[in-house]
Amino acid sequence: MSQTIKLGYKQLLVEAEREIETLTAAEAMPLLGDDLHIFIDIRDIRELDQVGRIPGAIHAPRGMLEFWVDPESPYHREIFSETKKFIFFCAGGWRSALAAQQLQRMGLTPVAHIEGGYGAWLEAGGPTEITDVGMVKGGSE
């Protein structure tokens, strides 16, 4: 017997996109390195190692986000208490849309995500780097 999924990923994404701010890679690019913005890379660490990262982006794995954001969580990370705009991205823009929506619901503000994610960033000619695990400042390693 198969499962009956009542709320599919497409609907989840439509609803998320309605609620959150979406930036194109080109719109996000000038914000990189700006003191008022933090880029948060929510991909799995293996993805970063395989295809590179955005320099200066903080790595925060999708599975830990809610716990890193909530100051009452034992896993809270100070970076998420900063009064900056949090710009989330993943590989293709799906995980980041759902994550940004969820974190916005929790009260994190302002948040945005990059449409098309790291793939769109690469296509737009955004700066990238390949580094060893452990090189990301303030991230999960």
Ligand X SMILES: O=S(=O)([O-])[S-]
CB closer to ligand X, 47 vs 70: 47
CB of 96 to ligand X, least distance (A): 7
Which residue number, 69 or 114, has a Cβ lying nearer to ligand X? Answer: 114
Is 92 or 126 the residue whose CB approaches ligand X more closely? Answer: 92
- For residues 109 and 61, the answer to whether their CB atoms sit within 8 Å is no
SS3 100: helix
Q: Residue 43, exposed/middle/buried by CB under 10 A (0-12, 13-18, 19+)?
A: buried
Contact letters for ligand X, residues 112-131 (x by CB under 6 A): -----x--------------
Q: For residue 83, what are the CA distances in angstroms to 69, 89, 138?
A: 13, 19, 16
Among 38, 87, 90, 136, binds ligand X (CB under 6 A): 90
Contact positions vs ligand X (CB under 6 A): 90-95, 117
